[in-house]
A = this chain, B = another copy of it.
Amino acid sequence: MLGHEEAQEQALRATEGLFYARGIQAVGMDAVRTASGLPFKRLYQLFPSKEALVLEFLHRRDAQWRQALADYVGGHTTPDERVIAVFDWLHQWFSEPDYRGCAFINSFGEMGGISAEVAEQARHHKEAFHGYLTALVTASGRPAELADQLALLAEGAIVTAAISGAPEPAWQARSAARLLMGALDRNGPKGLDRTRASN
């Protein structure tokens, strides 16, 4: 028999693809059992309920996604390159054959209104991404407000690539990001509209 950890790994790895491809509510525990090869009894020993499995899936996905992004960005040296690398990585992600958007945006859309925990996980994931982007932007000597805008471009590209089924939004976002960085370099931080934006 597999140990607790390995079995949990196996269940989560099998679950991942199912939840991402079909959504959460459309995947029954029976499909999880079949995909993981673990009997119900074991499954419910590892995760006391489907909700617990879902939350673990999201937790794990958050960690893996941000790690993959950081790994890719880490392969670039200058601060400017590192900011732009985010969008190159997005294009790579969008080009995966079974890309279907951001798991957190999707689960928020599906369950954000009925599960406070799922909504909280989405919020946490997006805040972490935003924080990472802010670090990259400030490391390039630019104001944090730029990170807000780049985050919007990234989120927009994620959604648009998913719905349209094409990876091009990554390039459009990258192009806009370059323009925004250039605009700041020319005008200084006052180039941003600070009359209403609070951060």
* A residues apposed to B, CB below 8 Å: 21-23, 25-26, 100-101, 104-114, 119, 122-123, 126-127, 145, 148-149, 151-157, 159-160, 162-165, 168-169, 171-176, 178-180, 182-184, 186, 191-193, 196-199
Contact = CB atoms under 8 A, between A and B. Distances in A.
A156 B157 CA distance: 8
A8 to B, nearest CB: 25
A179 B164 contact: no
Number of copies: 2
A197 B172 contact: yes
Given A152-B157, A183-B183, 10 more contacts: A22-B114, A23-B112, A109-B109, A148-B172, A149-B153, A149-B172, A149-B176, A155-B156, A168-B198, A179-B191
